[in-house]
Amino acid sequence: MDSLINWDFSYGERVSSQVRRCFNSSVGFGGNPSSREFFLVVSFKTFAFPLDVDSVSVALQSCLGV
């Protein structure tokens, strides 16, 4: 996970803000029964870090925000 420490999360924060503005919804599913969840399929063809639950979570957070 050391290679993930210096990632820039500003892009994901902008995506999250834009989704909230455009769709009045958060990127992350909060568990609210009235909210609709969706499934996101991601494929990592090449990678510069070991793939595990934590590293993929950080990678997606850097792209999509919180």
User: Tens digits of per-residue pLDDT, 17-52?
Assistant: 888 888 777 777 667 777 666 666 777 777 777 888
Asked if 17 contacts 65 with a C-beta cutoff of 8 angstroms, the reply is yes
pLDDT value, residue 24: 79
| Total-model pTM | 0.60
Asked if 42 contacts 60 with a C-beta cutoff of 8 angstroms, the reply is yes
Whole-number Å distance between alpha carbons of 43 and 18:
23
